[in-house]
Structure 1
């Protein structure tokens, strides 16, 4: 990226940060703020290698193929080959992946100034502007506006037009925020105006029916329209956008959650999870405690009663009325997970959006339980959905015995989950560090370079947590400075030792932050040594079904057969061994049978088991 463009982007970012504080509650001193994506750069590691696979795949896609359906819908010529999967010309969701692509590519441009993706985004935005102009009323999509007519009349009958419309709006908003492309913002304003005009023609009874999404696989799924409109309001300051966002905050879902009523059973998971992310943005913009209560209560319900051991969720619906709901994508009865281990649980979109929500809650509360959950989801749900050899991603991440990952064809099968996955893997550097005033939280231990501009301090994190069980942090500054560093101590590390410049500073308490408050100088170094160990986690409703962890890593048994163990919980733990620390290989001796295990995020095409059965009740 040219230096002049980079300066413009930094000025734009600063301006937008001011807008967020002015229109929301972003200036609340009790918050821990995440850093802009360009201020945290991944350093060489296995995590950076995963990011590189993702970037290479994004660059391999053809821009004209991505634009094809938009041009056809606008009556403009296109000779490109259409994409496949849910981007095929006859599929109602066509256009959704392009929104994900705009978001992910713009994050890469902002972080690295990638000229290839920068030029591609400029080209795509300019072509989308032509499509919008040809349609003439602010509307922009790859499907006809008549889909909305059908939705408003029969409250279904078409496949989720607002869901797809949101993805495109979000992509354009992210392009504007991340690259400063004003044309993207102008297109976005036209799209919002179009929605506003449609909604203004409808009475409340019609809107309520149109946005009531309790059925299986709801075709009226609205996506995160509330979230993108709240984000737009933070920039535009236009009360019209705030009012429009609130239309998509449905009281039938919001108010029971705020009252701590678990109404999740039977609901389509990702339809409603993204609504909660929208409620989080609503709280940021308005400070309304109703949103705060709904978000925090929902998170507790989800993680305590509906999530699997890796923080992912979604599976068969208790009352299955569609083929999909027999096996996937829905929440079940609270605390009843033992009989849900189909081959299509744990939708990748759900894992990604759960991670987003967890990070949001940490910024509000600074509670270490959110850092703990985020770390678990990061390693065992998000990183596990990508093939570390090819970069391909899964739609579902099955956890039963035996199971196998099914990867989406990266050039032909464009589904929602490879869309959300390219966003997740373009933001692997996000939410590692948080700050407020002179305090820095270190929530993840991943090799990175942090530029803490407000304090004129840079921080270099080194080490291989998973193999060497330690992390190093070196501070660089021109002038000594008083800072408070809060180092996250995961719940799985029972004896964590912290050293400053070679001298022991103390032992961290599991599931908390260890505080270092002092005057720091250039070159000061911190080392954190973690206590890795094996543990088992049972199903909440079946303590004979267990999963095995080593440190933060969820382990998978390497076998094509169903796994039935002979021992009890204590027998299993005592029989586990580290076979090859550098290659993350483990073994279990169980009553004369030896099993090989490795982290779920290292599994590619081979059969595996995560949840396995024991013959004795756990002790």
Structure 2
């Protein structure tokens, strides 16, 4: 997605008027009144109430050695990431209460906080957490016993990421819902953490931060804002990962191959710390990161990454092939970063990305009836998404999904000291109590290209009413009480109407929208149709939707249905002019593209779809399609005989396959991930139906068989073939096969890239 952003420090000159620092409104002041976002909020409310607080609290009671009131949930909540959903749940409860005033939501929030306070009191040192064997784990860290990788710290699954969710949930319980006990628990937890890391050197802290840790630096900045105690701000700076920060400050793009959602929360922390300290280097680093990800790494609907990692900016082909497209958590955090930069920099261009992502990714990641949340949104043509269920699914994207649909009111409006800004066309009401200004926005956008704003004031007032002119809006006009206004409007700025307003005044905004082809950022011939800010796609099939609603398996969030060949996908043949001329308006936001019906992507559910289309001239169509067909045939044939596989060094595949390791490191070279060890690494592979006959172990380097041991379920493996960089082992007959690779003489093994369990 391309967004031209002019970066400025604090003030923006609009129409000759300088306006003061931008501020958001509390969620309590903004109420949704209709439309798709209100429906999504209501559906989310039902999902939130379907979850059992006592089951979410169980890991914390276990850790505090208190009697359970209910057994913990399964899935990720009982396989190493125990307790992380409770933190998200606190945030979701707090924001849903602020947005709706629902009494049951408030009751649950207060109960959750009181139970966490009880656990904290039982522990006696400020600690509260649900991490398995947490006390033993944290004691090792306190003593400086640190062995970390990208997602495993002392063989514990992302413990700082886990506890960050609790930090954030307690913060939100206080900030959004006014729960004072949450503030007390938060401060106690923060003080415990500072004592925990106090003996560690800065080098050891950076070693800890190699493992995914969420936005732990941001939450300590929040503690400083709550208490004004400088020790929290100092800790926030100490907990900022320099391996990411330093290249960003030098404007160096080192993101390719990194786990995407590990990085975004860190940058949110950099931005918040910069806003508190005035550190322009850190602020510039955050802006550089945002610009890189939003402009060069995001697809049409605003998402980024493939298999959770940043792909090369020059090659999106892996994303087009994969069933693991952009992750919802990434967009959740990119919206948080966009909001922070918009408010800090007073720059409305950030809202173009925010709006696009809100409508097309966030809104599309919740099932409109059942409320299930989506983890991966593939852009592979003719593929589909999987939805969570309350009792079976406890993924990270369930946690962020619970929050996503509670806070749609956060940026519909904003304000400076005296002026009001309308940022999004969403039906809603605003109550600016400090100014005794009420505003009602009536709109059916995006199905209607206008919005009406009606004011109600305690008494007539003079102020500026600023209407965002989006990048995509054409023929932008504004009427006040039916009278057209003379405006000099430019996209990605505001139209300011400054006058003495009175009750009953009505401002009407009208515009036109057009359909554009937006190509992938890598310059390839794949493009999506975008109408205004709305990404269009076509339902293509309802067949083979295996696992549409997730079970409780570790990889329940990934589609299990077959991949349809890319060369069979609909393609556009001709020229840019004829691509557009093929689109015929039908009804509302639906369009005909030959036999396909295009509609807003967020409205497509329970189906396979096509969002991206290859574009060809007639001259090169046959040649390129034949080449793609050959590539697809080879790839699908390999997938067909694969029982299970691990991409070594990739976070989620390694977690999914019970990775364990000592003295190990991972990386990304030659567009492939890898892992090596000076001791041992192991993975568990599922041998469904005991059909697997061989294990192919591949590396980026030559594999020296004499210096490496391969064990299958603790028995020496039989090596069948060694062709240098791939070793074929004879698979065992077990339904679960544990492959252990042991280094010889304490020397590094080759960089292993993939392990495949094959039928033949």
Residue aligning to 1:105: 93
Q: Give the strand-richer structure, 1 or 2.
A: 2
Question: Which segments of 5 or more consecutive residues in structure 2 lack a partner in the other structure?
Answer: 1-9, 12-17, 542-567, 621-760
Residue aligning to 1:443: 423
Residue aligning to 2:597: 596
Q: Give the helix-richer structure, 1 or 2.
A: 1
Question: Which segments of 5 or more consecutive residues in structure 1 lack a partner in the other structure?
Answer: 1-24, 213-219, 316-327
Q: Does 1:487 align with 2:467?
A: yes
Tell me whether 243-252 or 100-109 shows the greater mean CA deviation.
243-252
Q: Does 1:210 align with 2:200?
A: no
Shift of 1:71: 1.0
Residue aligning to 1:302: 293
Secondary structure at 1:262 match in 2: coil
Structure 1 residues 94-243: aligned runs within 5 Å: 94-143=82-131, 144-149=134-139, 152-155=145-148, 156=153, 157-212=155-210, 220-243=211-234
Q: Does 1:547 align with 2:547?
A: no
Deviations 1:73-113 (A, max 9, x none): 2111115132122112xx22111110000011011222333
Contact 2:275 2:344 in 1 (8 A): no
Residues in 2 aligned to 1:527 and 1:263: alpha-carbon distance in whole angstroms: 46
Residue aligning to 2:400: 420
Residues in 2 aligned to 1:248 and 1:280: alpha-carbon distance in whole angstroms: 14
Residues in 2 aligned to 1:512 and 1:178: alpha-carbon distance in whole angstroms: 30
Shift of 1:150: 5.2
Partner residue of 2:319 out of 324, 329, 340: 340
Deviations 1:180-201 (A, max 9, x none): 2222112111211121111111
Contact 1:150 1:158 in 2 (8 A): no
Residues in 2 aligned to 1:158 and 1:506: alpha-carbon distance in whole angstroms: 62
Residues in 1 aligned to 2:175 and 2:111: alpha-carbon distance in whole angstroms: 17
Residues in 2 aligned to 1:224 and 1:472: alpha-carbon distance in whole angstroms: 39
Residue aligning to 1:11: none
CA RMSD of aligned residues (A): 1.9
Q: How many residues align?
A: 566
Question: Please, what TM-score do these two structures have when normalized by structure 2?
Answer: 0.72
Residue aligning to 1:616: 617
Structure 1 residues 245-264: aligned runs within 5 Å: 245-264=236-255
Residues in 1 aligned to 2:268 and 2:352: alpha-carbon distance in whole angstroms: 19
Shift of 1:209: 1.6
Residues in 1 aligned to 2:68 and 2:615: alpha-carbon distance in whole angstroms: 58
Tell me whether 53-62 or 363-372 shows the greater mean CA deviation.
363-372
Q: Does 1:535 align with 2:516?
A: yes
Q: Does 1:390 align with 2:370?
A: yes
Shift of 1:549: 1.1
Shift of 1:506: 4.1
Residue aligning to 1:17: none
Q: Does 1:571 align with 2:578?
A: yes
Partner residue of 2:537 out of 551, 556, 565: 556
Tell me whether 433-442 or 601-610 shows the greater mean CA deviation.
433-442
Residues in 1 aligned to 2:518 and 2:177: alpha-carbon distance in whole angstroms: 44
Contact 1:163 1:224 in 2 (8 A): yes
Deviations 1:440-473 (A, max 9, x none): 2211000111112232211100010111211110
Residues in 2 aligned to 1:185 and 1:382: alpha-carbon distance in whole angstroms: 29
Deviations 1:460-492 (A, max 9, x none): 000101112111101111322111122111222
Deviations 1:287-342 (A, max 9, x none): 21122111111111111221112221111xxxxxxxxxxxx111122343244221
Runs of 4+ in 1 over 6 A off after TM superposition: none
Tell me whether 422-431 or 402-411 shows the greater mean CA deviation.
402-411
Residue aligning to 1:406: 386
Residues in 1 aligned to 2:596 and 2:118: alpha-carbon distance in whole angstroms: 59
Residues in 2 aligned to 1:188 and 1:511: alpha-carbon distance in whole angstroms: 39
Residues in 1 aligned to 2:82 and 2:254: alpha-carbon distance in whole angstroms: 31
Shift of 1:405: 1.0
Secondary structure at 2:240 match in 1: coil
Deviations 1:198-229 (A, max 9, x none): 111112222222213xxxxxxx2111101111
Residues in 1 aligned to 2:492 and 2:110: alpha-carbon distance in whole angstroms: 45
Residue aligning to 2:650: none
Shift of 1:511: 2.7
CA shift in 2, pair 1:410/1:207, >3 Å: same
Question: Please, what TM-score do these two structures have when normalized by structure 1?
Answer: 0.88
